[in-house]
Each structure stands twice: as C-alpha cells, then as structure tokens.
Chains A and B, each alone.
Chain A
C-alpha cells in the first residue's frame, strides 16, 4: 500500500527566507504526487502535481517540487516566503491517474516569522 511521510510537523521560517517542506513516499510502479495547501478556515487546495514528464513542477505562487524517483521524494520548495504562505501543507500520493484514492501525509504547518 502507498504511504507518505512528511518528516516535519511544523516549520518556522522568517519572511523572505527560503523554505523546504520534505515529503517521502513509498515506491510503486506508477505514482502520481501532489501537494495540497490548507489556509486557515478553508478547504484543501491543490498546489501542484506531478503526473509524468518533467520532474520539476511549479505552482503559480512561486512554489516548486521535484520528483526524485531514486530517493522517493517530492520535496516542496520556495526561494522566498511571504506571510501569506502561512498554512498547512499536505503531500499526497495516488497510484491511480484518476485520483480516486489519494493517500495523504500528516501535514506540515508552515509558520512565517516577521
């Protein structure tokens, strides 16, 4: 069965500093990887996804993640965070392209310090 490990439950970082949120997954023949973000009092939103092709995927708000098959990782990075990035971030995996069964990690809370 698929599984996802987010190593950090909380990550504090100063505004405008870079950040990396770590995610490792269990290996499978085919894997589709996602990062979701949950802002306070809102539902989860898809931030970015890897389905196939280029291993580096980007979001519209400056986040990027790189699929590393050899290390079974899909870490999320941003070179300079903003206070508005304060949220909970969930890494997720599916072995089904139609996304019927998504396995989520426990989430990482990103704290932006002024």
Chain B
C-alpha cells in the first residue's frame, strides 16, 4: 500500500517551453502533497506544500509564478515548470500524506532536462 507515482519519469524540453509533472497517490487519499527538487549530489530541497483545494505554500526562494502547483483532487497534484531554462534541469520528487496521516510517501521522481 501507500504507493505514489510520478509521470513522466524523464522529460526533455526546449528552453522557453513549459512542462507538467504529475504526482498521484494510487491507493490512498492525500490531503497534503509536497514537491522537492534535488540537484546532483545535493539533498532534497522542499519547494512547496500543497493542500487539496487550496493554494500551495512555497518555500523561500522558490518562484511561485514559475513553478505552478495544482492539487485539484485528493489523488493528484501537478507541478508545471513554466518557461523552463537549463538551470531548471533537476530531479523533481513529490510526496503525499494521507488524511489524518503522519508519514510522507515518496514518488520515484522525474528527471527534467532543459536544452
């Protein structure tokens, strides 16, 4: 149980375009989802926290107009990287926490390469 999927697992896009990453909780309902970014040989850094039906809370230094997060249902959150640039190339990981739960369950990650 408690499986989180991400789609796509790997994406290449051209500079200036937008790309959407999906995060789904497959066998539970998640009121809260988290988005992280991980650069090579660095730790995971929390980008934002989203609660179903409300606006996401972004961490300091994360541009909310560039990284659009939508958490429209209890099983799906999306991260859209708008006007992507090569410096946005990274590994993006989501996690989900179920209703009245404590533990975060992590997805396998999405590798974004911007050329």
Interface positions of A (Cβ within 8 A of B): 4, 9, 36, 41-46, 90, 98-107
Task: Mark out the residues of chain B between 38 and 52 whose CB falls within 8 Å of any chain A CB in the assembled complex.
Answer: 41-46, 49
Count residues on chain B whose CB falls below 8 Å from chain A CBs. Answer: 20
- Residue of B49, B97, B106 near A44 (CB, 8 A) is B106
Is the beta-carbon distance between A4 and B103 smaller than 8 angstroms? no
Q: Which residues of B contact A36 (CB under 8 A)?
A: 106
Closest residue to A98 on the B side, CB-wise?
Answer: B102
List B contacts of A102 (CB < 8 A): 46, 104
Please list the residues of chain B having a beta carbon within 8 angstroms of any beta carbon in chain A. 4, 32, 41-46, 49, 93, 95, 97, 102-109
Inter-chain CA distance A90–B103, complex, in Å, is 15
A104 touches B49 (CB 8 A): no
Total A-B residue contacts, Cβ distance less than 8 Å: 41
**Is the beta-carbon distance between A90 and B108 smaller than 8 angstroms?**
no
Cβ of B108 and Cβ of A41 under 8 Å apart?
yes
- The 6 A-B pairs at the shortest CB distance, nearest first, are namely A43-B106, A44-B106, A104-B43, A104-B44, A43-B108, A106-B43
Contact status A90-B106, CB under 8 Å: no
Instruction: Give the docked Cα–Cα distance between A106 and B40 (Å).
Output: 9
Q: List 6 A-B contacts (CB under 8 A).
A: A36-B106, A90-B44, A102-B46, A105-B43, A106-B42, A107-B43
